[in-house]
Amino acid sequence: MFVFRYFCVLLVSASVSVVQAEPPEAKFQYKSPEIQIPEASAGEPVLKEFSLERADRYLEQGTAAWSAQRKCVSCHTNGMYLISRPELTAELGPPTKAMRDFFVAELRKLQGQDRERLLSGIRPTQIAYVAAGLAKWDQHVSRKLSPETDEALRFMLSVQSDDGSWGNADCWPPFESSSYQGATVAAQAIAAAPGWREALKDEALQGKIKRLLTYLREKEPPHDYGRLLLLWTAADYPELLTAEKKQALISMVRKHQLPDGGWSLRTFAAPGAWGKGNRAEKLQAEPEFDTASKGWKNLESDGHQTGLAILVLRESGVKADDPQIRKGIQWLLSHQRDSGRWWTRSLNTDRWHFITYSGTFYPLLALKKCNALPALQQTSSR
């Protein structure tokens, strides 16, 4: 009996050893039958040299995998793709037409929903992303207004809130965080559509645009991130800011620059100021948050905010050879990761880090605005 029990113990121990020896399941940030993009992490190796090819591949595969798997337009991935990618046509070639077709199909799907549903949750801002993506395509690719963009803009204005904003979620910052952010996307859509606003005769729609601009001019942004978006929007609508206020916002952005040369998303709002404050506990638990001073210490810059800050400063008239801009560009060129993306830690969870997607588009656009975007050596197929 003793021998039998001893043999069983050995057998169980061996079984446990086999289970423990199995490799952990691979985790992916974006995944489809054809695409597998590894999860994003702070430990991903940094490239020795900047690679536009790898950034391009990451962005193309990310939007394709998300659209195939999730089948919706999201602020943080394919929504960001069609808003940003058309502007890089000269450097990367035209964006994939399949993504524009996806947006048109999404427009039709949204138009089929009842009004109560359309006005709920994130849908008004989602509609603004659809309109902005189609408008950006017209602006940079076809270079003429399409019937679909005209239709999308009119539809977008039909779901405007009474105060002039666009309804949004308030729990997934920075994109799905506030109606203020949704309003800036709607303004971007209107400004991008070639000749649309200038040719608009409908007085009711003109009134809605006026209400939007009044909202942006008079509504106090919820935090410095919102103020950065206001400064960006004012590049298309100079009437939103007095010269004095514009300079004050530029100074605000400059003050957020970190010693390493970049910017961090985390310094642009207190942990409890994002959305309805549901990310405060997560952010305050991070090692860089100092509980005593209720501020951040020893932060490293991230791709999302460094790219966005430089992009907005450039579009606000700050010169490319400005010392702070040059320092930020050097940070971008020396911090791209092996996958082609830039690291940005999510404000929401430590699982997906989808913010690295905008955290890759914004750096590319910032480099372009500073004439610092290296040439693409091998154009990706579309």
Residue located via tokens 């005209």: 150
Rounded CA separation 338/274 (Å): 30
Helices and strands (H, E) in the chain, number of each type: 17, 4
Per-residue pLDDT of the chain (382 residues; tens, 9 = 90+): 433 343 343 333 443 444 444 456 678 999 999 999 999 999 999 999 999 999 999 999 999 999 999 999 999 999 999 999 999 999 999 999 999 999 999 999 999 999 999 999 999 999 999 999 999 999 999 999 999 999 999 999 999 999 999 999 999 999 999 999 999 999 999 999 999 999 999 999 999 999 999 999 999 999 999 999 999 999 999 999 999 999 999 999 999 999 999 999 999 999 999 999 999 999 999 999 999 999 999 999 999 999 999 999 999 999 999 999 999 999 999 999 999 999 999 999 999 999 999 999 999 999 999 999 987 754 444 4
> pTM, whole model, 2 decimals?
0.92
Contact 124, 167 (CB under 8 A): yes
Contact 295, 269 (CB under 8 A): no
Rounded CA separation 320/367 (Å): 10
HSE-CB for 328 with a 13 A CA cutoff: 37
What type of residue sits at position 239? E
Q: How far apart are the two ends of the chain, measured CA to CA in Å?
A: 70
Is residue 157 classed as helix, strand or coil in its secondary structure? Answer: helix
Give Cα separations from 284 to 147, 248, 287 (angstroms): 48, 28, 8
Rounded CA separation 339/57 (Å): 9
